[in-house]
């Protein structure tokens, strides 16, 4: 047999194996992208409700789904945002809280923009920050629920005369 015949036989035998391996790589790539998109879409959808459990869960998935050199800007933005979240002002002064909230919004905007760039989205900062529908009634319901919970706690810990 000639070299050409051997190469033909080898190609016939290895082609299906190679095709299956390429298909597996494509599936892994699609699954990883889908998970990253899920995190990004969840954060975008809940950016006006940053204390919602969905938002917090998506934030905590960033380290898992956006790792590697390609996503360094995302993980750096996430570390900056997380550091800021951990620096909630101990004094409850109005100006300190307002400054903290403004920086929180800026850090989240930067994070979402970096994630969007990596995933092929092109949003500007104004759209990420302000392009969200958040009914005032939802905020009022959250405040009411928090107030009710605090009052129940106060009642349950109240020790009468």
Q: 136, 128, 106, 142: which is closest to 45 by C-alpha?
A: 128
pLDDT value of residue 139: 72
Could you read off the pLDDT of 65-115 as tens digits, one per residue? 999 999 999 999 999 999 999 998 877 778 888 889 899 999 999 999 999
d(CA 1, CA 126): 69
Task: Classify residue 75: in a domain, yes or no.
Answer: yes
* Domains: count for the chain: 1
Q: What is the largest CA-CA distance in the chain?
A: 104
Poorest-pLDDT segment among 116-120, 139-143, 155-159: 155-159
Task: Classify residue 141: in a domain, yes or no.
Answer: no
Q: 71, 74, 62: which is closest to 35 by C-alpha?
A: 62
Task: Classify residue 86: in a domain, yes or no.
Answer: yes
Task: Classify residue 150: in a domain, yes or no.
Answer: no
Task: Classify residue 46: in a domain, yes or no.
Answer: yes
Task: Classify residue 138: in a domain, yes or no.
Answer: no
Kindly tell me if the per-residue pLDDT of 48 is higher than 80: yes
Task: Classify residue 125: in a domain, yes or no.
Answer: yes
| pLDDT above 70: percentage of residues in the chain | 98
Task: Classify residue 53: in a domain, yes or no.
Answer: yes
- The parent domain of residue 81 ranges over 3-132
């Amino acid at each position: 047999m000639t070299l050409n015949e051997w190469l033909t036989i080898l190609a016939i035998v290895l082609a299906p194996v190679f095709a299956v391996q390429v298909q597996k790589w494509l599936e892994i790539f699609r699954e990883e992208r889908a998970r990253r998109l899920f995190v990004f879409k969840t954060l975008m959808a809940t950016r006006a409700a940053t204390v919602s459990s969905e938002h917090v869960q998506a934030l905590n998935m960033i380290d898992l789904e956006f790792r590697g050199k390609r996503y360094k800007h995302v993980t750096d933005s996430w570390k900056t945002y997380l550091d800021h979240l951990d620096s909630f002002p101990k004094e409850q002064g109005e100006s300190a809280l307002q400054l903290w909230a403004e920086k929180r919004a800026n850090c989240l905007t930067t994070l979402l923009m970096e994630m969007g760039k990596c995933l092929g989205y092109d949003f500007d900062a104004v759209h990420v920050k302000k392009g969200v529908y958040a009914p005032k009634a939802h905020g009022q319901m959250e405040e009411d629920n928090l107030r009710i919970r605090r009052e129940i706690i106060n009642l349950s810990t109240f020790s009468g005369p």
